[in-house]
Structure 1
Amino acid sequence: MAIETATFGGGCFWCIDALVQQIVGVESVVSGYAGGNCPGTPTYREVSSGKTGHAEVVRVTFENTTITYQELLELFMENHNSTINTYIKGDYGSQYRSIILFETENQQRIAHKVVQQYGANLSMEVRTEITKLEVFYSAEAYHQNYFNKNKEAAYCKSVIAPKIEKLKKKLDQKIES
C-alpha cells in the first residue's frame, strides 16, 4: 500500500471535504488553509477577510493503488466550478478560488495535464491555480468533518448533500458504501 497526499480547494472546504470522504481509497481529509503569504497560523476569520492570500483547501491522504492522484484531481475538477476564481456557489472571495497545491514535480505535471484536459472540454477558460504547497495549516476543529457533524444544517442540506448525490450517481465504483 502506498500512501500519498493531495491538497486542493474550490469553494468552501466543507463541500470538498464531504465529497472526497466518499471516495474509496481516501484515508483522511483535513480542512485547512494554504496558498497564502501571511505570517503565523491563520484563523478562519483572517482567511475569510481575503487579506491572507490563503484559500480554503483540503489535504487528502489516500492509498494510491486504489485511487491515483490523477483520478482524485479529475473528480475534484468535475465537482466544482473551475472557471470562476473568486465566486463559487454563494461563496465570494479569493479564499474560495480553485487551486491545486502540488508537492512533487510528478504531481505538478499531473495537475497541469488534468487541468488542460478538463479545460479542453469547456467553452470557458479554466482558472484553477496550480502552485507548490509551501505550508498547510489545519482549520479550526469545528470545520473538520463539518458535513457529517451538521447534516441538518441548511447549507449542508441545500448545497453539500446534492453534490454528494450527484457524485454517487456518477461514480458508483469509486464511492464508499
Structure 2
Amino acid sequence: MHKIAALLAATSLALSACAEPAVAEEAVNAPAATRTAKEAKGLKTAVFAGGCFWGVEGVFSHVKGVTSAVSGYHGGNAASAKYDLVSSGVTNHAEAVRITYDPAVVRYDQLLRIFFSVVADPTLKNRQGPDTGAHYRSAIVPLNAEQAAVAKAYIAQLGKAGIWKNPIVTRIEAYKAFYPAEAYHQDYMAINPTSRYIVRWDAPKVTALKTMFPNIYRASFLRDAG
C-alpha cells in the first residue's frame, strides 16, 4: 500500500505540482558583485526562494563548492510545512532551498549572482514563470549579518545597473526556520530528467549555468539525502 500511495503521489505531483510552462525564461548576465562576501573558513548555509524549488535545487546542485541542496519551506510554521498546504497558498511559506557551501570554492556573493542570472526573474512578484502565488515568491534569506549586508548591497547594485526593464521585487526576508520538503521533492531534477516540466523549464537553467559560469559549473548532479 505504501508503494501504491507513493506512486499515486508522484503521479499527482507530476500532473499538478508545478505548472507546465510554454517556454523557459531567458537567462540574464548579472554583473559580479562589487561587495564580495568576507566569510570565515568552514562550510556555510544559505537559503534561496525562487519559484518552484525543483529548479532552484537543480541549479545549485551543479555548482562547485555546494555540498548540499535541500528543497523545503521557509516563512511559516512547522504545522503548515506540508506540500498540500503550501501549494494551496494558505501558509506564509515559500518554496525554498537550503544550500550548504564552501566559501573557499564559491562565495555567497557568487551564489547571489547565479541566483539572479539563471535561477529566478527578480522582477516578478509572487510568481515565477507559470507558477503563481506567494509561495513562489523570489526571496533571499540571509543567515548571518555578512550575508545580509552582501545581499542588500547586491540588490542595490543590480537596481542601479538597470538590467531589467521592471523594478526588482525580490525580498530579503528574515530567517525563521527551514523545513525540508517531502522526500519525493528531493533531487527531483536528477530523478525525473525527462519530466516535461524539467525539460522545458529547469534544464535550460542548468544549461545557462554551464555556459555563463563554466569555472564553477559541476557536470554531475549533487545528490542529497536531505
What range describes the TM-score normalised by the shorter chain of this pair? over 0.9
| Aligned residues: CA RMSD | 1.2
Match of 2:83 in 1: 44
Cα distance in 2 for residues equivalent to 1:114 and 1:142: 34
Confirm or deny that 1:144 pairs with 2:209: no
Shift of 1:78: 1.3
Shift of 1:105: 1.2
1:121-140 correspondence runs (5 A): 121=161, 122-140=164-182
Confirm or deny that 1:163 pairs with 2:200: no
Confirm or deny that 1:176 pairs with 2:223: no
Residue 84 of structure 1: which of 121, 124, 137 is its match? 124
8 Å contact kept, 2:80–2:86: no
Shift of 1:123: 2.8
Shift of 1:153: 0.9
Per the alignment, in what secondary structure is the counterpart of residue 174 of structure 1? Answer: coil
Match of 2:138 in 1: 98
1:153 partner amino acid: S
Per the alignment, in what secondary structure is the counterpart of residue 53 of structure 1? Answer: coil
Closer, same or farther: CA 160–39 of 1 in aligned 2, 3 Å: closer
Match of 2:55 in 1: 15
Provide the aligned length of Structure 1 versus Structure 2: 176
Match of 2:98 in 1: 59
8 Å contact kept, 2:78–2:179: no
Per the alignment, in what secondary structure is the counterpart of residue 137 of structure 1? Answer: strand
Residue 107 of structure 2: which of 68, 73, 80 is its match? 68
Match of 2:26 in 1: none
Structure 1 length as normaliser, TM-score?
A: 0.95
Match of 1:119 in 2: 159
Per the alignment, in what secondary structure is the counterpart of residue 55 of structure 2? Answer: helix
1:126 partner amino acid: I
Shift of 1:119: 2.1
8 Å contact kept, 2:80–2:91: no
State, as a whole percentage, how many aligned pairs show the same letter.
35
Confirm or deny that 1:108 pairs with 2:175: no
- Structure 2's unaligned 5+ residue stretches are 1-40, 220-226
Shift of 1:40: 2.0
Shift of 1:99: 0.5
Q: Deviations over 1:124-169 (max 9, x none)?
A: 2111110111100000000001000000111111111111111111
Q: Deviations over 1:25-53 (max 9, x none)?
A: 000100000023x4525101111111111
Larger Rg, first or second structure (1 or 2)? 2
Per the alignment, in what secondary structure is the counterpart of residue 162 of structure 1? Answer: helix
Cα distance in 2 for residues equivalent to 1:61 and 1:39: 21
